[in-house]
């Protein structure tokens, strides 16, 4: 399953990218990577889900509070890089992750503030992926937005699903996606422009897909 595409082609590998550079300003609790989750920093849970779910390697992109995160969190299993320009937005961390990953790999992009991410979700995305496409986790949830819905996302909402993370980007699409990354948008621009290239996989049985942006969402940490 994990390191091969849905067509079984040998050598189809994925590098997981954990975008973990955010300061969590609205939460006022310091770097999001260090939010407590099941007794450990949240970044450990997210990175572990990517590696244990089938990614060949995991790159953890740190920024805000990087020295503290590197000291407190156990990240020895992963490749850790620090984004000095993290204040410019998530896009710069996305670009650094892409630059760090093996150019032959697919990229599986995850957010550090998504505590519900499981290895089963990761494995499902890797197993469902089709060559030349983007494979996205989707969840039965109507209370969040992606900052504007594409036609494909509207269709998914009508089916009761909303696209979220993680997001698996085919190796053949990496350059095209990277060309659209700016500010805090990540891959959003590419996804809006190419809804026909996106396959959404229902992962609602694993979690709601929510991330932690506001104090009321701290309930997700359990």
Q: What is the pLDDT of residues 156-176, one digit of tens each?
A: 444 588 999 999 999 999 999
Helix (H) or strand (E) holding 139: strand 134-139
In the chain the domains, ranked by start, together with CATH numbers, are 14-206 (3.90.550.10)
Alpha-carbon span 42 to 17, nearest angstrom:
15
Q: Is the pLDDT of residue 155 over 80?
A: no
pTM of the entire predicted model = 0.85
**pLDDT tens digits, one per residue of 57-103:** 999 999 999 999 999 999 999 999 999 999 898 999 999 999 999 99
Closest CA to 96 of 56, 47, 61, 50: 61
Q: Judging by DSSP bridges, how do beta strands 36-37 and 40-41 pair with one another?
A: antiparallel
**In this predicted model, which residue has the larger pLDDT, 177 or 11?**
177
């Amino acid at each position: 399953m994990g390191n091969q595409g849905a067509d079984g082609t040998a050598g189809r590998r994925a590098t997981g990218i954990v975008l973990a550079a955010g300061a969590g300003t609205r939460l006022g609790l310091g770097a999001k990577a260090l939010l407590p989750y099941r007794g450990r920093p949240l970044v450990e849970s997210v990175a572990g889900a990517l590696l244990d779910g089938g990614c060949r390697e995991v790159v953890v992109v740190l920024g805000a509070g990087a020295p503290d995160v590197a000291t407190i969190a156990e990240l020895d299993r992963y490749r850790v890089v620090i984004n000095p320009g993290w204040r410019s937005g998530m896009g710069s961390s996305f670009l650094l992750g892409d630059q760090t990953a093996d150019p032959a790999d697919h990229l599986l992009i995850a957010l550090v503030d998504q505590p519900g991410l499981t290895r089963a979700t990761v494995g499902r995305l890797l197993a469902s992926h089709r060559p030349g496409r983007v494979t996205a986790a989707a969840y039965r949830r109507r209370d969040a937005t992606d900052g504007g819905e594409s036609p494909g996302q509207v269709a998914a909402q009508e089916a009761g699903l909303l696209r979220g993370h993680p997001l698996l980007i085919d190796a053949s699409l990496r350059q095209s996606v990277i060309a659209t990354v700016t500010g805090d948008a990540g891959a959003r621009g590419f996804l809006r422009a190419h809804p026909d290239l996106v396959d959404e996989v229902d992962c609602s049985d694993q979690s709601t897909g929510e991330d932690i942006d506001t104090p009321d969402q701290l309930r997700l940490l359990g």
